[in-house]
Each structure stands twice: as structure tokens, then as C-alpha cells.
Amino acid sequence: MSLKPLQVRNRENLSVKAIKAVAVFEKLLSELSKRAMPESTEAFVNEHIERINAAVLPENQLLRLIAKSQAQILQQVKKELKWVPKNHYRVLFTLFGMSAFGIPIGVAIGTVANNMGLLGLGFPFGMSIGFAIGHVKDEKAAAENRQLDLNV
């Protein structure tokens, strides 16, 4: 079993934004087709491709359908096969670092200075810590060949 081709209707009438969204989705499909996947995952991806190919929607709804399908495919691939796009962990842990490390650091700074207006000073520290952790995890995923050559 292999992945079906993406055939978007009225491709020539799409805006630049829609063309870019289709190109990113096609890049995802080409990356997935280069790797061996279980048949259940291939069937899942082909189901989403068929939905997009059969869609006769206005451009904004087509964009939403493509984005939703792309997110669901990436989520399924991450869950089943542990494959992630480039910089996935960096983005995830940057946000996590801001909330898990940045807020406590900011509270500590605000408490020591007796000025809770300094709470925001912890966010850059937390962001840096999360960025570093995510970068290490992205490098590990690349070393284990679990990283898709795709920026989302």
C-alpha cells in the first residue's frame, strides 16, 4: 500500500496562502512516503487525502480542512511512530519553559525585590531553559532518524 497523490481542485485559482498550505501538505506526504509505515497509518493518511481530494469547498474552508488534516496526521504519526517535524520539541519546550520555569523564577525575583511587578523577568530565563531542552531533544530525534524534514 502506498500514499495516494493529492489532487486539489481549482489549484490555479488559489491564493498564495492556499498554495503555500498545499505545498506544505504535499511536503509532509512526500516525507511520509519516503519512510516505511504500518498499513493502519497509511490508511489513516490516505483517508485524509481522499477527503481533501473530494472536497468542493470555498478556499477558506479548504485551508481549514488542509490544516486540520495536517495536524491530525502529524499527531497520529507522533503518537504511533514517534516521528516529529523539525523544531517540534524546541517550540514545545520553549512554551513549557516559560510556564514551568519562568513563572517560579519571576515570583522569586519579585519576592526578593519586594515588587511583584518584576514577575515578567522570569519569562526570558524560562524561555531560554526550555529552548535549550527542546534543542537537545530535537538533536536526539534527528540522531535517531525520527525527525521529518518539514517545518510546520
Tell me which residue of 136, 70, 138, 33 sits closest to 147, measured CA to CA. Answer: 138
CA distance 26 to 23: 5
Q: Residues 47-51: what's their mean pLDDT?
A: 96
CA torsion sign, 38 to 32 to 18 to 12? Answer: negative
CA distance 76 to 87: 18
Q: Residues 27-43: what's their mean pLDDT?
A: 94
Query: What pLDDT sits at residue 10?
Result: 78
Query: What pLDDT sits at residue 1?
Result: 64
CA distance 88 to 137: 9
- pTM of the complete model beyond 0.85: yes
Query: What pLDDT sits at residue 132?
Result: 97
pLDDT band with cut points at 50, 70 and 90 for residue 81:
very high
| pLDDT > 70: percent of the chain | 99
Q: 504519526: which residue's cell?
A: 77
